[in-house]
Amino acid sequence: MLSTFLSIAAFAQSTITGNVRNSTNKDVVPAVSVTVKGGVSGTFTDEKGNFKLVTNQKPPFTIVISSVGFETQEIEVRSETDIIQADLKPGASLGVEVVVSASRVPERILESPVSIERISSLNIRNAPAANYYDILRNIKGVDVTYSSLTYATPSTRGFNGSGNARFNQLVDGMDNQAPGLNFSVGSVTGPCELDVESMELLPGASSALYGPGGMNGTLLINSKNPFKYQGLSFQIKQGIMHTDHQQTSGPTPYYDWALRWGQKASEKLAFKITAQMIHAVDWLANDTSNYLAGNVAAGQYGNVIPGTRTSDPNYNGVNVYGEETSLDMKLFASSIGAAIKAGIPPAAAPLIDAVVNSINTAPAGTTNVSRTGYYEREVVNKYTVNFRLGGGVYYKLTPGLELSLMGTGEQEILCTQGATVIPSRI
């Protein structure tokens, strides 16, 4: 009897497949809602605009296709063998987008009590940017500080800096501030670009909702739910870091490869797996020209003069760091000569006097000495190799309540000429 009922239930199901495009330019439209009119069955289109709808109703019936920014379309299905091709017409839908950042509950963007900047997955895919954090730089009032190629810190109010603890960054509602380090690592260990559904930015203070860390604003990054975004997708971004022929390394490549697989195992269980690899070689500043450090009021600062560390004791290289401090040996000799003589035998005092007198009688401008500095290649690693692996399991307890478990692991590979050091962060 059990096998008979299961066979009847399986036989009663209908599977409808199809594709959704933009009627204007024939581009595929992902994340479009496809439901049975008057029923409870539904699904969403994948990244290629394809959908697969399973329902207990037998044809003929009507499906409703809807998406933000397009007019809703109804199509009658007469047979299970029909392959639906829907061309949606763009329509005005100002304020229909749903956001959760303003009051922590879903609401239309026009009903929000505060200003919200929303970046959709379509904006991310079409933006001419290396990553989705770069898109924030184009929003009015947003300042992004880069400490490295894969470490960006956005802010919207006050002063920004590397690791701004006054700006919240939340991924799927979870604060990703590193414990003990007090800075957010969203751009380092956050979701890969293919798995970002939307970004919601609160440009004003949001401490009332998100705690004192929201003094300079809050950024919510929402990842893609595998119930809604299914299938295998990949993305390849490649380019060059710079083209300056004067740099010693020459033009260097930039690689950004991403992969995502989302699958609905049943009506209650779904999972996703993501991976991303970023590899780049940045340029190093190598201008060793001698930079004149003098009296700013007299216009003696900012000029390039002849000289190297070997020929000029007061050498100050443009891209040599740590040697900006300069000392006049005349002042040093006058202040330290007496102290030195007090601590040495009286027979050596004439020698100290001779040294002090020789310094004091030297021509003006020849007794300045700077400390030895460091070249950029000695303090900066120009190699970036970042690998991320993430995933998530989603389970629907009820139609309106969902349990999710997600995580991201990241390895930053630091390459040097003699060895490779691989510290891992999870």
Mean of pLDDT over the chain: 80
Residues 218 and 117 in one domain: yes
Q: Is residue 245 part of a domain?
A: yes
Which pLDDT score, from 0 to 100, does residue 247 have?
55
| Block residue for tokens 């290289």 | 317
Q: What is the pLDDT of residue 367?
A: 67
Tell me what the mean pLDDT of segment 107-129 comes to: 77
What are the phi and psi torsion angles at 98 (to 5°)? -95, 130
CA atoms of 68 and 117, how far apart (whole Å): 16
Full domain range(s) for residue 391: 231-284+381-425
Claim to verify: residue 303 and residue 209 sit in the same structural domain: no
Looking at residue 120, which CATH number applies to its domain? Answer: 2.170.130.10
Banded model confidence at residue 418, pLDDT cuts 50, 70, 90: very low
- Give residue 339's pLDDT: 60
> What whole-number distance in Å separates Cα of residue 163 and Cα of residue 155?
10
Token pair, residue 207, equals 């401490």
Do 269 and 385 have their domain in common? yes
Query: Does the pLDDT value for residue 363 go beyond 80?
Result: no
Q: How far is CA 359 from CA 146, 300, 307, 315, in A?
A: 46, 23, 21, 19
Q: Looking at the structure, do residues 390 and 261 belong to the same domain, yes or no?
A: yes
Task: Mark whether 156 and 60 lie in a shared domain.
Answer: no
Q: Who has greater pLDDT, 223 or 125?
A: 223
Q: What is the pLDDT of residue 207?
A: 80
- Which of 57, 88, 119 corresponds to the end of one domain? 88
User: 161 and 304, same structural domain?
Assistant: no
Return the pLDDT at 95: 54
Judgement on whether residues 82 and 109 belong to the same structural domain of the protein: no
117, containing H or E segment: strand 117-120
The b/e string for 84-106 (b: 16+ C-beta within 10 A; e otherwise) is: bebebeeeeeeeebebbbbeeee
Split into its structural domains, the chain has a count of: 4
H helices, E strands: number in the chain: 8, 29
Is the domain of 37 the same as that of 62?
Answer: yes
In a domain, 93, yes or no: no
pLDDT reported for residue 98: 74
The verdict on 151 and 194 lying in the same domain is yes
The tens digit of pLDDT for each residue in 63-72 reads 999 887 788 8
Decide if pLDDT at 275 tops 90.
Answer: yes
Evaluate whether residue 123 is within a structural domain. Answer: yes
Q: What mean pLDDT comes out for the span 11-15?
A: 71
Residue-level pLDDT at 295: 54
CATH number, residue 53: 2.60.40.1120
16 & 135 share domain: no
Lowest mean pLDDT among 2-16, 25-39, 378-392: 2-16
- Of the listed ranges 19-28, 291-300, 372-381, the one predicted with least confidence: 291-300
| Overall average pLDDT of the 115-127 stretch | 83
- Of 55-64, 184-193, 268-277, 342-351, highest mean pLDDT: 268-277
Q: Is residue 405 part of a domain?
A: yes
**Is 203 in the same domain as 111?**
yes
**Residue 426 pLDDT exceeds 50:** no
3 state SS of 398: strand
Same domain? 128 vs 25: no
Question: Which residue among 29, 58, 88 closes a domain?
Answer: 88
* Beta partners for residue 169, in sequence order: 219
What's the whole-number mean pLDDT along residues 40-48?
83
Mean predicted confidence (pLDDT) in 94-107: 68
